[in-house]
Amino acid sequence: MSGRRGGNRIRGPQSALTDFLAANNISAAQIRDDYERRQRQAEVDEAGNGEGPSNQAPDQDNDEALAAAAQDEEDEKPSKKRKRNEKDAIEKIKKSKATKKGKKGKKGDPDGDDDYNDDLGMYKKSKPLPGQFEHCDICNKRFTVTPYSKEGPDGGLLCTPCGKELAKDNKKSQAAAKKAAGTGKKRRKIESDRLDGMATGGAKSLVQMCIEKVARHHDDIEELGELPQSVLERLGEIFSKKRVMKPKTLPLFLRPDLDSVVVHDAAYLEVEDYNQIFAVVPKMRKLVLGNACQMKDGAIDYMIEKCGELRHIQLYAANLVTEDRWQKLFREAGSKLEVVKLKWLDAAFEDDVVHDMVKYCPNLERVKLKLCRRLGEDAVRYLSDLPELKHLSLQINREVSTDALVNLVEKRGSGLQTLSLEKFIDADDSVLQAIHDNCNRLSKLRVSENDTVTNAGYTSLFTDWQNPPLTFVDVNSTRDVDNSNPDGPEEAIGMASSGFKALMAHSGSALKHLDLASCRHIERSAFFDVFNGGETYPALEYINLSFCNRADTSVVAGIFRSCPALKRLVAFGCFDVQDVVVPRNVALIGVPRAQEAIEQFGFGLGVDEAISRMVEVGA
């Protein structure tokens, strides 16, 4: 049927004039109507002037001028009428928009111009259809319109050559914009790495560049080959940070000859993926799974069955594992376990599970239990029965009495090498006294977020302490919290001047990491006595003075003099630290001046030259 209809259409030859009229949407009816309108108007004008064919003026020039004026007037009248009609339509549109403005259920801005512009589109000339002729908006050449004809800058269509040139220009502008955006992103990435302590001055190593290249093209990699364990773990850290550790990329980090599997972000892994880990790497001795939110009882059973040499377990947020499976894990695999680190466990890990862990894991040397919501004082008492305990890190949400902590330190303190007690708010000076009396092998000590221990307790701890110098000390947020008395009590709570001096006198020679954040009772004079340029601390690499409001530019200059190995100095909230010139290989983070970067990196000056420039600026 359609074929016959198509065959019945008879078309004759078309002239150039016909094509031109069709391209410009000019029809014979339009030409006829325009001619008749002009003719009628001319007759009306002649009748109004009382002139007929026999009364024409003899002056030919005047006749031509009158004819031209009449023609112009005729041409202007339709244009004026059209503009007047458009103006009336615009007014109607505005009125209708105003009436709809208060109606509910409309999304977006009621004063927006989108609908207004759409309504005006009805008065625009329609674009030629494919197959019609049009003049190029740029070169004005006549061409045949196709479905792929591009739109020009003024709204018209473009011929093929001009369209290609416009596409090239647009591509160049987009590439330039993308490059500019990439530059800013790269700069922010560098600053972020410096804040994380992962970037220093100078060129990157070849290994680092290769690792970054692999991480960037992770979708195209089928296997990593025989990479060393350290490089593989570094790649795993980058994959986890970029959130690309998924079932597709997980096999890259699994080999039967490996003795450890480290996945810091396992949020995308499911039960089958955990079973794959234990099936492919049955000889593993170390397992680290962060954000293990999909790990269930079946995965624990499979791990117990396949991995008989497990020594190190580190699981974060494994909240789908029931209490029975935790107990089964410690009963059947506990005899070989040496390290247990558990964090962010919710309702299925209670004090009874800790009791089973202590009972069936006699060889545990390192225990970390942080933010496990159901643990309390009984768990602390059970931990005091671990005979081989050397490293202990605790952060328990429930209230724990001072007696339980003192009992723990008295029983296990002699063997401890690291001790971390976070957010034990009610722990008092007796805990520090127990540490002083029983701990003589510590290299790391953290007592943070406490508002009970006094400065006298810290002074007593570090005075005549029979313990080697510490390498890591964290006493952040040890201060009195009372909004009605911002200066604190007369006897300072937390680390204050005398305690700080005693700490540096005891451990300054070996100290590498010092965190004094929010220890606001340390006076400026104490900082000057410790960091005076005469005393040096050769191993100190990291110092955090955030919100120690007595620290100023002079204190920072003294730190630069006294700490030749310093790499990072954090000073958030120290508003008297200004106009600092940072020596080379040192990162100063948190200087609060708005016109400076939040992180300033040394640019080649030595300590003496940097300090001399600071003196010049201060003068």
Q: Is the pLDDT of residue 3 over 50?
A: no
> What backbone phi and psi angles, to 5 degrees, belong to 202?
100, 180
Task: Report if residue 42 sits inside a domain.
Answer: no
Model pLDDT, residue 347: 83
Residue 561: C-alpha distances to residues 73, 177, 473, 547, 576 (Å): 91, 45, 21, 22, 19
Mean pLDDT of 239-258: 91
Measure the CA–CA gap between 345 and 385, rounded to whole angstroms: 22
Contact of 113 with 147, CB cutoff 8 Å:
no
β-sheet bridge partners, residue 445: 419, 473
Torsion 369-371-372-375 (CA) sign: positive
Q: Which of 31-40, 75-84, 416-425, 573-582 has the least mean pLDDT?
A: 75-84
Measure the CA–CA gap between 613 and 582, rounded to whole angstroms: 10
pLDDT digits (tens, 9 = 90+) for 47-105: 665 544 444 444 444 454 444 454 555 555 555 555 566 666 666 666 665 555 544 44
Q: Which residues contact 287 (CB under 8 A, 6 or more apart)?
A: 260, 261, 303, 307, 310, 312, 313, 314, 315
Measure the CA–CA gap between 194 and 582, rounded to whole angstroms: 14
N residues, the chain: 619
Model pLDDT, residue 473: 98
Q: Is the pLDDT of residue 280 over 90?
A: yes
The DSSP letter of residue 264 is S
Q: Is the pLDDT of residue 400 over 60?
A: yes
Number of structural domains, the chain? Answer: 1
Measure the CA–CA gap between 247 and 267, rounded to whole angstroms: 10
Model pLDDT, residue 114: 55
Percent of the chain with pLDDT over 90: 49
Q: 398 falls in which pLDDT band (50, 70, 90)?
A: very high
Model pLDDT, residue 565: 95
Model pLDDT, residue 227: 86
Helices assigned H by DSSP within 450-552: 455-462, 497-507, 524-530
- Amino acid identity, position 529: D
Q: 107 falls in which pLDDT band (50, 70, 90)?
A: very low
Strands 542-544 and 513-515: parallel
Measure the CA–CA gap between 316 and 407, rounded to whole angstroms: 28
Measure the CA–CA gap between 511 and 473, rounded to whole angstroms: 8
Model pLDDT, residue 293: 93
The count of C-alpha atoms lying within 13 angstroms of the C-alpha of 165, restricted to the half-sphere facing its C-beta, is 10
Q: Give the closest residue to 411 by CA, choosing from 382, 432, 376.
A: 382
Q: Which of 169-178, 271-280, 402-411, 412-421 has the least mean pLDDT?
A: 169-178
pLDDT digits (tens, 9 = 90+) for 457-507: 999 999 999 999 999 999 999 988 776 776 777 788 999 999 999 999 999
> What backbone phi and psi angles, to 5 degrees, belong to 164?
-65, -40
- Amino acid identity, position 81: K
3-state SS, residue 319:
coil
> What backbone phi and psi angles, to 5 degrees, belong to 346?
-100, -105
Angle at 400 between CA 396 and CA 406, to 5 degrees: 110
Q: 291 falls in which pLDDT band (50, 70, 90)?
A: very high
- Cβ atoms within 10 A of the Cβ of 434, count? 19
For residue 149, the enclosing domain spans 132-158
Model pLDDT, residue 125: 59
Residue located via tokens 């002074």: 459
The top-scoring range by mean pLDDT among 38-42, 74-78, 98-102, 197-201 is 38-42
Residue 576: C-alpha distances to residues 249, 554, 586 (Å): 49, 9, 20
Measure the CA–CA gap between 52 and 466, rounded to whole angstroms: 131
Model pLDDT, residue 340: 98
Task: Report if residue 221 sits inside a domain.
Answer: no
Angle at 277 between CA 276 and CA 280, to 5 degrees: 80
3-state SS, residue 178:
helix
Widest CA span of the chain, in angstroms? 135
Model pLDDT, residue 182: 62
pLDDT digits (tens, 9 = 90+) for 352-372: 999 999 999 999 999 999 999
Torsion 282-238-271-341 (CA) sign: positive
Model pLDDT, residue 593: 53
Measure the CA–CA gap between 390 and 479, rounded to whole angstroms: 29
Task: Report if residue 138 sits inside a domain.
Answer: yes
Residue located via tokens 């007592």: 447
Task: Report if residue 441 sits inside a domain.
Answer: no
Please give the distance of CA 170 from its chain centroid, rounded to a whole number.
30
Model pLDDT, residue 1: 46
Q: Give the closest residue to 262 by CA, choosing from 226, 209, 315, 304.
A: 315
Strand locations in 225-325 (E) = 260-263, 286-289, 312-316
Instruction: Identify which has the larger pLDDT, 580 or 14.
Output: 580
For residue 221 the two structure tokens come to 């990699």
Task: Report if residue 153 sits inside a domain.
Answer: yes
Average pLDDT value for the chain: 82
Measure the CA–CA gap between 370 and 319, rounded to whole angstroms: 14
Q: 312 falls in which pLDDT band (50, 70, 90)?
A: very high
Measure the CA–CA gap between 133 and 20, rounded to whole angstroms: 7
Model pLDDT, residue 538: 96
Q: Give the closest residue to 442 by CA, choosing from 405, 471, 404.
A: 471
Angle at 591 between CA 589 and CA 592, to 5 degrees: 135
Model pLDDT, residue 592: 59
Q: Which of 8-22, 314-328, 438-452 has the least mean pLDDT?
A: 8-22
The count of C-alpha atoms lying within 13 angstroms of the C-alpha of 368, restricted to the half-sphere facing its C-beta, is 14
Residue 361: C-alpha distances to residues 334, 339, 380 (Å): 4, 10, 16
Task: Report if residue 526 sits inside a domain.
Answer: no
Residue 289: C-alpha distances to residues 277, 295, 374, 496 (Å): 11, 10, 21, 39
β-sheet bridge partners, residue 447: 421
Angle at 429 between CA 427 and CA 431, to 5 degrees: 60
